Structure 1
Amino acid sequence: MNSFRHRPLSVIGLPALVLLITAAGCSSADGSASAAVPSPGAKTAKLCQNLDEVLPAEVDGAGREDPSPASALTAGWGDPAIILRCGVVRPPKMVDPKVAEGRDADAVAGGVNGVNWLMEHEDDGGYRFTTASRQAYVEVTVPEGRDSSGALIDLASAVKKAIPEGIAD
């Protein structure tokens, strides 16, 4: 007779059940997005806080749903989320001569409503945009299936208002 089959639940099953319930309670079932919070210097952080105050309530038709952890340096809209991170470091492609000359198919420079962006195609089918010629780098990731041009149009006014033209530190 197999004694394993007849052991009480409290010996084998209960600890496993408690572990499963604990793990489920710690996970996010609501599908909320997460984003790494940048760590810029004080001057850039202040510009990013100013941006947070003027960001639109809606981007690409979706309401604002900020990612976790909560920060004035990050914002999000919709599901799948369009994520904005302010105060990021300059992307390496931004100084790549192939991009400036239009010879890099994965990265393209361009402007939308008075804001210049570096556009990078991501492996998952989405796009990452980073502001150029502004005193802080603002990164916007747009997942596959969301309208990247609509997102940039919706965000342009806030970026122009809060992040002055110039060179980021």
Structure 2
Amino acid sequence: MSTPHVVVVMGVAGTGKTTIGPLLAARLGVPYAEGDDFHPQANITKMSAGTPLDDDDRWPWLDAIGAWAHGRAGLGGVVSCSALKRSYRDRLRAAAPGVVFVHLTGDRALIENRMSHRQGHFMPTALLDSQFATLQPLQPDEAGVAVDVAGSPEEITERAVTALTGLPDSA
């Protein structure tokens, strides 16, 4: 992957999107955008109260991320976004054709443990089950790679860079 793609770092809460995203952006030499920053306050309030978002809550958020990704087309960038459903990824691709996904995957117990040690994040561990229930992994026809989150952030980032390098430029 030599052309500057926009990479969406996706996965359930607690997989390390906010940690891996900036590291990946630095390795690729492109800007990073934190997907959580695109949420309207109503979404943050809802999740903070332990209530999962529904699709109507997510559409404006996905559209804002898609607009950012569209603006980075041909320039490259990395943005974090759970992108749990195929329909969410389709919406991002409609806004920014050519985006590629890095799906951070891992053992549920490891992810829950990491979530329980986070400080100052609005997403409670109680919503992890709803995240896994919603998750639709990348399909073979979707441009992207799955990367295991076991190991250090640097190891995970290196696996992501290596996997992205194997993607065709037409991804």
TM-score range, shorter chain: under 0.3
Q: TM-score, normalised by structure 1?
A: 0.25
* Structure having the larger proportion of residues in helix: 2
Q: Which has the higher contact order (CA 8 A, sep 6+)?
A: 2
* Structure having the larger proportion of residues in strand: 1
Q: TM-score, normalised by structure 2?
A: 0.25
Q: Which structure's CA Rg is the greater one?
A: 1
